[in-house]
Structure 1
Amino acid sequence: MNKAFTKESEDDEEEGAPSAPALPAGTRNYMTRRGFDTLKHELDQLLKVERPNVVQIVSWAASNGDRSENGDYIYGKKRLREIDRRIRFLIKRLESAVVVDPAEQEHTDQVFFGATVTISDVQDGAEQTVQIVGVDETDASAGRISWIAPVSRALLKAREGDCVRFMSPAGWRELEVVEIRYV
């Protein structure tokens, strides 16, 4: 089919792009300093290193002539759109970020944003340590869970020795707060 009869636009690709973690309506984008610095570093890397390199490749590929069958040009342009989309996302997230320093928490006897909490499953006694962090810095394998996750919401304002219940995908769970730290 002739390319003139196909619809190609950036909007089409953005619809299929994986969506970023959404914040609940009317809430702030809380982040730890480490999370903010990580996103800022990624933005700087994209702006100062990756994007200029891809622009150089696309420019070189465009100078080779016929662009319709030029793989370097086609895939370079696609990568450039992906980079630009990520840059826009990072800028929006960083602009709306509210950086919270866990070390400055006044009420260290309760669980709040940034707390590192050791919890024990009441049923099997398994202990786990998690840190409550921002939506953009979650990493379950490292024990960093979002403040909007069901387990985090259940833990908020709890004290050492408290038991909390929450609905998990596997059903109701009950956890005991063993230790609260702010690092």
Structure 2
Amino acid sequence: MRLTIDTTTDTYEQAIAAVQAAYGLRPDTPAGWPQAPAVEPRPGPQDLSIDGLGNGWSDQLLFQVLAALMPGARTVLRRITDLGGAASYDDVQRYFADPLTDPIPTSRIGGTLTSIKAVQRRVAPESTGPLLQRDERARLYRIDDALVAGLTRAFAMADARPDLLRGTAPSL
């Protein structure tokens, strides 16, 4: 069971009533108490499309990969996605070397991105193409354009539901 209480809009009495209702208790509520607001459904991965984006990928599958990634790999993948799906090794390394961002040592970025391939093998079907392509000669990271759009939607869902991501604390 999951119970969400919004401490900015719900009153103490509404919170207690919600907990009691969740456990099947039906207390008499005083006539003067306001009614609890209607619960709005929270978005979830099921709201993402299952339609193919190409190479066997869908929005739901991309979200599953994002959710399974460690936070560092997710952050690097987001940076490459924010750059339109193409970035040089040097651009990514410079961005994460800045202490104002989430710093990742330069020597660890390549290993961090290797984990994306490992998660893809574990989560995605074998028929999917590579999510992140690395060109060692040109020193470039690349994500197909259709996947960039899907990753953007998956990251928006991740922002709305951080409780579904690996390495984040669950929310009540």
Query: TM-score interval w.r.t. the shorter chain?
Result: under 0.3
Q: Which has the higher contact order (CA 8 A, sep 6+)?
A: 2
Whose Rg is larger? Answer: 1
TM value normalised by structure 2: 0.25
